[in-house]
Amino acid sequence: MHYILVTGGAGFIGANFVLNWLSDLGADSIVNVDKLTYAGNLKSLASLEGNERHVFSQTDICDREALDQILAKYKPRAIVHFAAESHVDRSIHGPGEFIQTNIVGTFTLLEAVRAYWGTLEAADRDAFRFLHVSTDEVFGSLAAEDPQFSETTAYAPNSPYSASKAASDHLVRAYHHTYGLPVLTTNCSNNYGPYHFPEKLIPLVITNALAGKPLPVYGDGLNVRDWLYVGDHCAAIREVLARGRVGETYNVGGWNEKTNLDVVNTVCDLLDALRPKPKGSYRDQITFVKDRPGHDRRYAIDARKLERELGWKPAETFESGLRKTIEWYLDSQGWVQNVMSGEYRKWVATQYAV
């Protein structure tokens, strides 16, 4: 078998990528490395149980010895690096884990991959790729009249999370320019879709709405984000991995700039249509709460380079992707309840007891 190695493949975007990749019967097998923190969930990959093309390893990317062993055993032709702490609010309250995973972890992975890459035959070295998945938050905040983020926008991270991701981006770039490692970087806008941990805005609104709980909106609700359906993001990553120019960065966006309040209202309206309340609208549950520290006002991605060079553009509109997302959550309440109750973490501890 031929393999690619995916880090963080039990997380939200990583799991969607693994499922998407393995749905292609002609694609390589996957070695899936995930530490299984609170946001990693093997139940997202339940459909792959018994699939010989999916090898899972509960491994921390900070564990150099374990990474060396995995690389030597499976000899992947590419790395797709999703593994990261990614929640801004959590980074404000506990930045240490973000520094450890996003910076030290990426450094450790790069060192392991550099050593492995150096052992390959010339043709395999040339064909090898390290694709680093990052975020638009490294570019900081935009005013309403500012142009969208491009690949040449200066970095200006404003939270411990975005600062740690910016540092990881710089490390990846440095390993290409210093050591020649064939890297690719993607910077994406806000993702949404199935298997999203319910601390993020869209799944939080869906789960709270169905539970009759308040739908919290920070500040005035007018912070703007560009929204990208996770299936479109996975398709973009596959294109960049296959045909992207080595050393280049590609922005991946959905061309869907929405205020947080617009997003919450749209979720409520779709829920009103798909799972109506006995009385009133889900909008009645909207509650404005104190803004979080350092809350960036606007993010917006210019994804024209990706379309121009590789022909990619999103297949979903915000409305079509959001409808698919809500329908998935309505049909997957067992997954949601397991995530929120912590039962799946207990199962993992038993399943992978050392």
Using 50 as the pLDDT threshold, list the residues of the chain that sit under it. 352-354
Active site residue 161: yes
Beta bridge partners of 4: 30
Question: Can you give the pLDDT at residue 293?
Answer: 83
114 and 176 Cβ atoms separated by less than 8 Å = no
pLDDT score of 354? 41
What are the pLDDT digits (tens) for 55-101?
Answer: 999 999 999 999 999 999 999 999 999 999 876 777 888 899 999 99
Report, in this order, helix, strand and coil percent for the chain, each rounded to 5.
Answer: 50, 15, 35
Q: Which residue out of 34, 60, 85, 137 is catalytically annotated?
A: 137
- Tokens 């030290």 belong to 104
3-state secondary structure of 215: strand
DSSP assignment of 152-209, as one string?
Answer: TPPP---SHHHHHHHHHHHHHHHHHHHH---EEEEEE-EEESTT--TTSHHHHHHHHH
Residue 89, pLDDT score: 74
* pLDDT tens readout for residues 207-264: 999 999 999 999 999 999 999 999 999 999 999 999 999 999 999 999 999 999 999 9
Helices first, then strands: H and E counts in the chain: 14, 12
Please state the domain count of the chain: 1
Question: According to the model, what pLDDT value does residue 155 have?
Answer: 98
pTM for this predicted structure: 0.94
Told to judge if 291 belongs to the known catalytic residues of this protein, a careful annotator would answer no
Task: Look up residue 8 and give its two tokens.
Answer: 């963080």
CATH number at residue 297: 3.40.50.720
Considering 34, 85, 136, 239, which one is annotated as catalytic? 136
47 lies in which domain range? 3-351
Catalytic pick among 116, 161, 229, 329: 161
Q: Give the containing element (helix H, strand E) for 320.
A: helix 318-331
